[in-house]
Structure 1
Amino acid sequence: MQKGSDDQELNSLRASIEILKSILDQQNQRKTMERQESEIQSDFDAKRSSLEAKVSDLEENLANGSDSETLSHGLDDSINESLEKLNSAKKELAARLRAIVSVKRQLDDVPSQSELIQYEHRFSELNAHIQEKLQQTRKFYATYNALLEIKELMLKETSLLNSITSQFQDAIASTAGRMKLLESMEGIVKGSQQKLEKVQLGLQEEQKVSDALKDRYTAAVMEQRRCYSLLKAFQEECARNERLRRQTSA
């Protein structure tokens, strides 16, 4: 019971960490896509400036009265080259836009910072509730086992006293009876000694289990500290992301 509860608690914490890691990865992916979108816009502006410069050159040639045939061939070549670049840019832009739309749809499913804070509070409350229930369950089981063992010992003691009382008067009436009673008492002492040794062995086993649980508890504490460290890093990343978002909006 105790082992299963500890494993469940660790699995719950690990699942929470995986969720936080997934959210961080999605936010990093969003930043990457935003940076790529900015690069595409810069490339588009550069190409537009280049085309505008070519148009200005053509207008200047027309104004200066350049040879119409040469100008026509040059214009056709420029138009064909520009059309090829335009079609290529459209295809590339369409592919990038599809990727951006896909990522934005995924980002729409990412909870906001306020929702993440609510999730954090809920996880903390759930963890505290699990710890409380676990402690109560351990206490109830320990009390039940102790009372059950006390009951068994009291029943054995009562049975032994009743047996001695019923046989004592007859046993002391003769020498053979006294010898038999003595042998019976020695058997009782021997049985009690065996019972004591058995209890001591059980105590040693419980001590081993206790030591193993202490080791697991130490490992769980280290894991909890690591979770807190990851959570703190996640909160700092959320705050930084919020600042960048405000700067971008401004």
Structure 2
Amino acid sequence: MLARRSREVARLHRVLDDVPSRGELLQYEKRFLELFEEINATREEIDKRFAAYNFYNEERKLQAQEGELVASVHSSFVPAMRSASGQRQFLEQASRFVESARTLAQKQTVQLDKRRARRDAKAVERDALADSQRAYFRAVKQLQQQAERNEALAARIQEAGLEEPAE
């Protein structure tokens, strides 16, 4: 009978030891937050590098197009100026280049507007997440205060002898 009761007490102690204490839970929470922040920092760094790569790649393409345009104008200028029809064709070609540049500028403006809209949407999302995080921290603080209050009340009850201590 005593051995069975000792085994039961030992089993219950193991069950209780498996439940993390408040301090351990706070440590786990702190470590999870640290890991979350580290992952966020890494993700932000990767996003910045991708954005920089995409920006420089687009810039390289635009400069290549500009170089081709300048080379084309340079190679066709002298032969075009020799005759009136050549001059007219050169002016028509130049006006097409100008129109092409305007179209490209409009496309770039549209892209810029889209990027600004995405940035603004992400700012709103970030603000909402920050509000959620602040609410979470307030709730955790309230939970900690209530747990401390509960422990103090339990200690007072035990001191008053109104309840047997729990094992």
Q: TM-score range by the shorter chain?
A: 0.7 to 0.9
Is 2:78 the partner of 1:183?
Answer: no
Partner of 2:24: 115
Q: Relative contact order (C-alpha < 8 Å, sep 6+): which is higher?
A: 1
- In the alignment, which of 160, 169, 172 is matched to residue 81 of structure 2? 172
Percent identity between matched residues is: 32
Count of residue correspondences: 148
Instruction: Give distance in 2, aligned partners of 1:237 and 1:169.
Output: 87
- In the alignment, which of 95, 103, 108 is matched to residue 194 of structure 1? 103
Instruction: Give distance in 1, aligned partners of 2:154 and 2:26.
Output: 18
What amino acid is aligned across from residue 199 of structure 1 in structure 2? Answer: Q
RMSD of aligned residue pairs (Cα, Å): 2.4
Distance 1:184 1:153, change over 3 A: same
Is 2:48 the partner of 1:139?
Answer: yes
Worse-superposed segment, 120-129 or 184-193: 120-129
Partner of 1:40: none
* TM score, norm. by length of structure 2: 0.77
* Alpha-carbon displacement from aligned partner over 1:83-132 (angstroms, at most 9, x marks no partner): xxxxxxxxxxxxxxxxxxxx998765431022112112202211220221
Distance 1:234 1:107, change over 3 A: farther
Instruction: Give distance in 1, aligned partners of 2:121 and 2:38.
Output: 24
Alignment of 1:1-250 (within 5 A): 109-244=18-153
How far does residue 240 in structure 1 lie from its aligned partner after superposition?
3.2
* Alpha-carbon displacement from aligned partner over 1:106-162 (angstroms, at most 9, x marks no partner): 765431022112112202211220221122122112211110111001110111111
Instruction: Give distance in 2, aligned partners of 1:200 and 1:162.
Output: 26
* TM score, norm. by length of structure 1: 0.53
What amino acid is aligned across from residue 182 of structure 1 in structure 2? Answer: L
Question: Gaps (5+ residues) in structure 2?
Answer: 1-11, 160-167
How far does residue 228 in structure 1 lie from its aligned partner after superposition?
0.5
Contact kept in structure 2, 1:172 and 1:178, CA below 8 Å: yes
Worse-superposed segment, 123-132 or 148-157: 123-132
Question: Gaps (5+ residues) in structure 1?
Answer: 1-102
